């Protein structure tokens, strides 16, 4: 009897057979118009994470409006980010701008002595680009150290997409971190911003595995990042930290590659990479992870009916797309049509790409018009895209999910695997309800 094989299952079987998945697929390289938030946006999660830091955006009113409307928290209590607005009068001379920045910082520090890390964040206006924020940070450091550490990085939309803001911030953080002594004890450094609750879950798992010396980058406090050197094994928690990883390697750290910790499979493979590096025995690994794996599988299974066989198209946005697509393909049997990503680091993404079907179209960079044409030709069941594209697609009767929600929602680890599946299932459920009501 002939077996009926749905296309997504056939693709998965082909992937199993060749063992390489998407690894050797040549991505479509695009250099057209981008539809992605700038690197300032990452401040929305970074300012919550580093509790004694203040992010001072040196920018225009546009930057201030973006941050206020995107974060929506400026009206509450004492915020931990703000904008030093560069006005027209500042155009008259750089000396004025440096003085102006000094005054803003002095006022801020006098009013907020609890701040331990001040982060100057550059933006796109040409007046700001001309300002040497690195030098400004150095001079402020001379003035305020050791009570206050001043860093700088660029979140400009010309240079960065929104997750690259975090990559730049972390480079600034570790740039000033001392080198570990040759006899420093071995340590595991988890690189990439995670919600506190997820950090706590992972910490408990690592301790259960016998890996006691665990640190997170960024740390919750300015002083929380340990000296880094050959004693440091790095496990990347986010896929968009290419430059941070390079800098950690330059400091002598060993950076592991693994699928990113999304879903049961991704989380297990990610934890196993650390366990292998620290020689954790297989039975101990199973004893610590089996219950979490089971809970994650059960939670995800609640959404499988809604997601299995659904044809999904990812626009480039956060660089998390290959890992998200791998989760959808492997754990709920969705069919992935295209995976767009602003930048594709084939080394970091290799374990995730190997688990994707070779039928997936990979696209690096963006040419939004061409991608819209491909969406219309593919007619997917679900489109993962930026806010600017979501509403027009919905108006065409298509179902969309805002990709930025995957960056803002805690989705890593076993306990969040069900929430991750639910994020994809929700718009499909909404569409079904609307169709019933019509």
Residue 101 or 417: which CB sits closer to ligand SF4?
101
Half-sphere exposure of residue 186: CA atoms within 13 angstroms, side-chain side: 9
Strand, coil or helix: 21: coil
Listed in sequence order, the residues at least 6 apart from 81 whose beta carbon sits closer than 8 Å to its beta carbon are 43, 47, 54, 55, 56, 57, 67, 71
| Block residue for tokens 């803002």 | 408
Query: Which string of x and - marks every residue 104-123 that binds ligand SF4 (by CB under 6 A)?
Result: -------------------x
Q: Which candidate, 65, 23, 63, 38, places its Cα nearest to that of 317? A: 38
Q: What's the number of CA atoms in the CB half-sphere (13 Å) around residue 85?
A: 11
Please state the residue numbers annotated as binding site for [4Fe-4S] cluster.
38, 63, 124
* Coil/strand/helix, residue 42: helix
Contact between 156 and ligand SF4 per CB under 6 A: yes
Task: Report d(CA 89, CA 207) in Å as an integer.
Answer: 56
Using the rule CB under 6 A, is 131 a contact of ligand SF4? no
- Residue corresponding to tokens 């509403």: 391
- Count residues near ligand SF4 (CB under 6 A): 12
Q: Quick check: 60 binds ligand SF4 (CB under 6 A)?
A: yes
| The one segment of 154-162, 247-255, 388-396, 413-421 that binds ligand SF4 by CB under 6 A | 154-162
Determine if 133 is a binding residue for ligand SF4 (CB under 6 A).
Answer: no
Binding test (CB under 6 A) with ligand SF4, winner from 43, 44, 58, 63: 63
Does 342 bind ligand SF4 (CB under 6 A)? Our answer is no
Name the residue number minimizing CB distance to ligand SF4. 157
Could you check whether the bond before residue 218 is cis, i.e. omega within 30 degrees of 0?
A: yes
**What are the residues whose beta carbons fall under 8 Å from the beta carbon of 358, sequence distance 6 or more?**
11, 14, 15, 18, 20, 21, 22, 24, 25
Q: Which one-letter DSSP state was computed for residue 163? A: T
* Residue from the set 12, 38, 84, 372 that interacts with ligand SF4 by CB under 6 A: 38
Q: How far is the CB of 62 from ligand SF4 (least distance, A)?
A: 4
Rule CB under 6 A: which of 259-318 touch ligand SF4? none
DSSP letter for each residue of 390-429:
HHHHHHTT--EEETHHHHHS--BSGGGHHHHHHHHHHHHH
Give yes or no for residue 157 binding ligand SF4 (CB under 6 A). Answer: yes
Percentages helix, strand, coil for the chain, rounded to the nearest 5? 50, 15, 35
Residue 123 or 232: which CB sits closer to ligand SF4?
123
> By C-beta, is 228 or 404 nearer to ligand SF4?
404
Q: Does 152 bind ligand SF4 (CB under 6 A)?
A: no
CA angle 383, 387, 393 (to 5 degrees): 45
Is position 40 an interface residue for ligand SF4 (rule: CB under 6 A)?
yes
Task: Determine if 59 is a binding residue for ligand SF4 (CB under 6 A).
Answer: yes
Q: Which is nearer to ligand SF4, 97 or 362 (CB)?
A: 97
Q: Does 140 bind ligand SF4 (CB under 6 A)?
A: no
Identify which of residues 38 and 325 has a Cβ nearer to ligand SF4 in the complex.
38
Nearer to ligand SF4, 21 or 39 (CB): 39
DSSP H helices in 258-412: 263-277, 282-301, 304-307, 321-331, 346-353, 368-378, 387-395, 404-408
Q: Is 427 in the site for ligand SF4 (CB under 6 A)?
A: no
* CA proximity to 398, closest of 321, 337, 324: 337
Among residues 51, 62, 203, 213, the one that binds ligand SF4 under rule CB under 6 A: 62
The binder of ligand SF4 chosen from 101, 124, 211, 404 (CB under 6 A): 124
Instruction: Pick between residue 63 and residue 375 the one whose CB is nearest to ligand SF4.
Output: 63
CB of 37 to ligand SF4, least distance (A): 8
Q: Shortest gap between Cβ of 17 and ligand SF4 (angstroms)?
A: 45
Give residues in contact with ligand SF4 (CB under 6 A): 38, 40, 59-60, 62-63, 66, 123-124, 155-157
């Amino acid at each position: 009897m002939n077996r009926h094989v749905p296309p997504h299952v056939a693709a998965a079987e082909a992937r199993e057979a060749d063992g390489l998945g998407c690894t050797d697929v040549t991505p479509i390289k695009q250099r057209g118009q981008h539809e992605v938030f700038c690197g300032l946006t990452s401040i929305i999660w970074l300012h919550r994470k580093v509790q004694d830091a203040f992010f001072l955006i040196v920018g225009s009113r546009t930057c201030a409006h973006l941050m206020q409307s995107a974060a929506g928290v400026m009206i509450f209590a004492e915020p931990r980010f703000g904008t030093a607005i560069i006005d027209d009068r500042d155009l008259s001379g750089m000396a004025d701008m440096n003085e102006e920045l000094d005054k803003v910082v002095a006022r801020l520090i006098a009013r907020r002595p609890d701040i331990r890390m001040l982060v100057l964040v550059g933006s796109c206006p040409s007046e700001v680009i001309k300002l040497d924020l690195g030098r400004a940070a150095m001079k402020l450091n001379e003035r305020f150290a050791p009570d206050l550490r001043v860093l700088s990085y660029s979140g400009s939309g010309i240079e960065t997409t929104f997750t690259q803001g975090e990559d730049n911030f972390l480079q600034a953080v570790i740039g000033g971190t001392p080198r570990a002594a040759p006899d420093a004890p071995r340590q595991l450094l988890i690189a990439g911003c995670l919600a506190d609750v997820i950090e706590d879950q992972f910490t408990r798992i690592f301790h259960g595995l016998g890996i006691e010396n665990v640190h997170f980058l960024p740390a919750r406090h300015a002083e929380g990042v340990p000296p880094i050197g050959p004693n440091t094994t790095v496990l990347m928690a986010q896929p968009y930290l290419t430059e941070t990883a390079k800098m950690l390697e330059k400091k002598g750290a060993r950076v592991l590659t693994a699928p990113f910790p999304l879903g049961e499979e991704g989380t297990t493979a990610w934890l196993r990479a650390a366990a292998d590096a620290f020689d954790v025995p297989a039975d101990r690994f199973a004893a610590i992870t089996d219950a979490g794996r089971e809970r994650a599988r059960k939670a995800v299974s609640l959404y499988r009916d809604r997601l299995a066989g659904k044809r999904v198209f990812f626009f480039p946005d956060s660089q998390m797309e290959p890992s998200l697509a791998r989760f959808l393909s492997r754990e709920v049997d969705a069919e992935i049509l295209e995976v767009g990503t602003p930048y594709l680091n084939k080394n970091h993404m290799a374990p995730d790409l190997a688990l994707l079907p070779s039928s997936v179209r990979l696209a690096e960079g963006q040419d939004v018009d061409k991608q819209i044409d491909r969406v219309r030709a593919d007619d997917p069941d679900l489109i993962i895209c930026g806010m600017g594209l979501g509403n027009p697609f919905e108006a065409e009767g298509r179902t969309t999910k805002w990709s930025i929600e995957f960056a803002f929602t805690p989705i890593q680890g076993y306990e969040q695997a069900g929430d991750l599946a639910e994020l994809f299932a929700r718009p499909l459920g909404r569409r079904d309800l609307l169709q019933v009501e019509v």
